Chains A and B, each alone.
Chain A
C-alpha cells in the first residue's frame, strides 16, 4: 500500500542528495551509483542504440537517393559519386563522403500513402487497427534493451523524440512513451521551486492519493499516471539531463552539425546515445512538397539534412559509437515519380528509398532497384516490417520475441518481417 513514487532502488537519502545537488562522495547511496557507473564504463562503449531520422511529410527519395537523370520525370538534380559504391543527389555533397557507412534501400514498396497511416505504419510495422495500438520503434527497442539501460544506470527516459511527436508506446505502456523535447534542449518546467525535504513530503501525500484511486480498479490510465510521476521525479533530479544540453559542446562541433533545429537535434541524439539512451528519434519536417519541390529541396531541406546527417555519422564513427548505433533515415513514404502541375510531387508509397547504417549493417551499398522511370520496384520489395526486423537484428534483439497485447493477443516483434540479407553478409 505504501508504495513510494521514488524511482526504483532509490533510497530517500539518495533521492535527497540528488535534489540538493550534494557532493556524491558524502553519500553512500550515491557512491554506490557511481560504482555502478564505473562498471558501466566499458559497457557504455558497447551498448546498443538506434537513432531514427524521421523525415515528416514524406521526402521525394527519387530526388535524393534514387535519381533518374534520364527519365522525363527525373527532375533537374544530377547524381554524384560517393565514398560508397552508389551515387546520390548532387545537393548532398557532405553526406556523399559518409556513404561508405550507409546503405540505401531502393526497393521499399508500401501501401500507405496517407500521412497519418503512413506515419503509423512506418513507425510500428503494422497498419492502423481500431482495436489495438501497436508499439512504435522507440518503444520496442527501449523495451527490449531494458536490461542494458538498467546496467548503465539510465535515469532519463529510454525513448527520446526531438522536435516531433513520434508514435506512442501502444500496449507496451506509458513507460515507453516518447519523451518529447525541443531541439534547444530546454526541458520546460524542470526546475523545482521548493526544497528537497518539502518535495519529498508532498510526494508522500501524492503517493497515498494515487494509491487510493488506483485501488478502486478504475483502469490503466490511473496506474500509468503513477508510473509517470515516478519517472518525472527521477528525471527532475538526474544529472544525466545534461545530455540534452548541446550548448555544452564546443563551437566547432556545433558548427559541423549546423545551427539548425535538425542539426541541434542530431547533436543531442549523439549526446543521448553516449549517455546510454537506447532510442532517439530526431524529426525533420517539411518534406510534403506538393508544390515547388525542387526549390524547397535544393535551397532548404537538403542543405540542412546534408550538414546534420553527415556530421552525425562522422561523429559517431570517430567516437567508436557507430558500430553499435543503428541509423534509420526515412519518412512515411516517397513521392510520385510524376511531377505535378505545381512543380511538386505527390504522395507515393509503391516505390521509394530509405537509408540504414551502423550497428554492423553493411555500408556503401544500395539494396534493390527501381525501374528506369522510378515507378516500379524491380527486385524483391521490402516493407516497414522488413526494415524493423533488420534494425532489431542489428541491435541484437531476437526476432523470435513475441509480445502479448493487453487483451492477451500474441504479437510477433516487427510483425514477422524478414531481415534484409544484403546488409549482413
Chain B
C-alpha cells in the first residue's frame, strides 16, 4: 500500500515535471524530490486497521466520525476497504465539493504536497478564497435543485424566477452564510422576485429567496407546507393533508396547524406589457380566517368522514402560536415559523443527514428527508453529535464539509473486500460506510467535468452565457410530471438515453474533436511529449490516475491500428475513456 501510493506520487511528479509540461511553473528540483520522498514515506497506512497516522491534520470532529463508524463495523463484524488512492480521493473531493473533476494541474499540485498534510491542505484550498466562485456555483446548483427542482421556473407561465433564486443562493454561498440564516431567509422571505426589479412601494431591491415560496402557494399553500417541512426539518407531512399518516406519527391536524403559518402569505403577480407577468411580489397580508374574524384567524380542514375541524398555528413540536391573530402587524406567522424552524433540533439533523448523503452516497436514513421514529437512522449517535457540533460552530457549512471529507469513511476505496462485500446498500442493506459507494455523476457534474477534462473552459465566456448553454444541454434529460407537487423525472440515470448521449452526442463530439485548437489537437501536436506521456496525460485528465502497463500496451495497439495518426488514435482512446464507467461514476 505504502509503496503503491508513493510510487504513484513519484511517477506523477517525474512524468509531469520531468517532461516539462508547460502548463504551470515547475517547482524547484529540490521541492520535487522532497515531495516525492514524502509521497513514499509520508502515508504510513496500517492496512489491517486502516488507520491513517496523519491525525494531526484531521479535525477532532472527523476523528469522532471515525470512532462512531468504526464501532459500527466492529458490531457488524465487517472490516473497511483500504483507503482510496490519493489521486482517486482528489477526484472525489473535487466532484463533491466543486461539482467537477480536477484538472491535471490541480491533481499534480495535490500530489506534489507532503502526503501527511496534502488532504487537509486541498480541502482548505477548495473551501478557501481561490475556489470561492466554483464552490458557490456548485452549491447554488445543488440547492436550486433541492428547492425548486430541475424544472422549477423553466416553464413560460411559472411564477418562479430561477435566476433570482440562483443569484441569492450564489451570494449566500460566496459569503458562506450560516445555514440557519439561509433557512430563515428562505422561509420568511418577502419582496419582489426578479433581479433588477424593485419594490414599487419601498424601493427595496429584489429578494431572490422568495422564489422558493412563490411557486408553492396554490391551494392554500399545501405544497409550501409540505416542502418547508421536508427540506428543512426532514419531516414528510404531505400524506397527512388528507388523513393521518399510515407509517409515522403524524396526524392530519398537525399538517393543517403547520399550514396555518402560511395563510398570510400571498404571491402577487405584477403585470408588464399586456397580460405577461413581469414579476411576482411575495408579501404577507392580513388573514381574516375562514370565519372572517381576524383576531382569531382560523382555517378548517376536512376529515375523511366529511366533518370539518378547526386549526390554528401550531409548530411541529406541539408549541402553539400564542397570538392567533391574522393581522400581520400583531403577528407575522411566517417569520414566527422561520424562527421556530431554525431553533428546532431537527433542523441541523436534517442538514447533516443531507450533507452526509451528498458525500457518502447514502444518508443515515433513506430517504434522507423522511426522518423520525418510524425511520430510525443507521448511526443515531453520530448524527446527533454532528448536528450538535454543527450548531455549536454557528452552522458553518464549510466546517461540516471539512469534517466529513477528512473522515476515514469518506476516504475509503470503492473496492470491496471479502470482509465487507455484504456492505452494499444497492442490495437493500443498510449502509455501514465501510467503503465508498459508487455513484453516477449528476448531469451537471458530468457537463462540468467534460469541460475540465478537455480544457474547454473559456475565460472569455461570461457566467450567464455558460449557465445558459449548460441549462439547454441539461434540459434534454428532465421531464416534469405536471402534478401539484412539482415532481419530475430524469433520463440521466445510467440508462440508454444517457449512454447514447455519451457515445454520439454533440458535447462528446466536441470533447473528442481533433480540430485545430482542440484539446486533442494540442496534445497530439505537442512536440515535447512522447506518445506514452500523451497517454498518461489522458489518464490523469479523465481518471486522475496513471495508466497501468497493460493499459499503455492497449493504447499502443490503438496507435498502431491508426498507423501513426496520433490525433486519431488519441481520439479513439479518449472517446472510450469518456464512455467508461470509471469516468462517469464517482468512485
Contact = CB atoms under 8 A, between A and B. Distances in A.
Do they bind each other?
yes
Interface of A: 56-57, 111, 113-117, 119, 130-133, 157, 164-165, 168, 171, 174, 177-180, 187-193, 198, 201-203, 205-206, 208-210, 212-214, 216-222, 224-226, 228-229, 231-232, 235-236, 285-286, 288, 290-291, 338, 342, 346-347, 350, 405-407, 409
Nearest to B436: A218
A235 B367 contact: no
A217 B416 contact: yes
Given A130-B367, A221-B439, A407-B427, A193 B504 contact: yes
Given A188-B476, A226-B581, 19 more contacts: A111-B246, A114-B485, A115-B483, A115-B485, A115-B487, A131-B428, A131-B430, A177-B496, A180-B497, A188-B500, A191-B504, A205-B576, A209-B551, A217-B415, A221-B585, A228-B496, A232-B499, A346-B242, A409-B428
Given A130-B366, A288-B482, A114 B238 contact: yes
Contacts of A218: 414-416, 438, 587
A198 B427 contact: no
A169 B165 CA distance: 35
A159 to B, nearest CB: 10
A350 B246 CA distance: 14
When A and B form their complex, which 9 residue pairs have the shortest distance between CB atoms, in order from nearest?
A165-B489, A205-B576, A130-B366, A406-B427, A206-B576, A209-B580, A189-B500, A225-B581, A232-B499
Contacts of A209: 551, 576-577, 580-582
Nearest to B246: A111
14 contacts: A57-B482, A165-B489, A177-B495, A188-B501, A212-B582, A213-B581, A220-B426, A225-B581, A225-B584, A228-B496, A228-B499, A231-B496, A236-B500, A285-B483
B504 A222 contact: no
Nearest to A129: B428
A370 to B, nearest CB: 15
A347 B219 CA distance: 13
A189 B501 contact: yes
B495 A174 contact: yes
Interface residues of B, number: 69
A409 B487 CA distance: 30
B572 A220 contact: no
B573 interface: yes
A226 B416 CA distance: 19
Contacts, number: 187
B554 A205 contact: yes
A224 B496 CA distance: 11
A216 B501 CA distance: 26
A191 to B, nearest CB: 6
Interface in B529-580: 548, 551, 554, 558, 561, 572-573, 575-577, 579-580
Contact of B579 (A131, A193, A206): A206
A344 to B, nearest CB: 8
Contact of B573 (A117, A190, A205, A224): A205
Nearest to A286: B482
Contacts of B491: 165, 180
A188 to B, nearest CB: 6
B500 A221 contact: no
Nearest to A233: B503
Contact of B496 (A117, A226, A235, A290): A235
B437 A219 contact: yes
B482 A113 contact: no
Contacts of B561: 201
B438 A407 contact: no
Nearest to B482: A285
Contacts of A187: 497, 500
Given A56-B483, A216-B415, A407-B429, A189 B581 contact: no
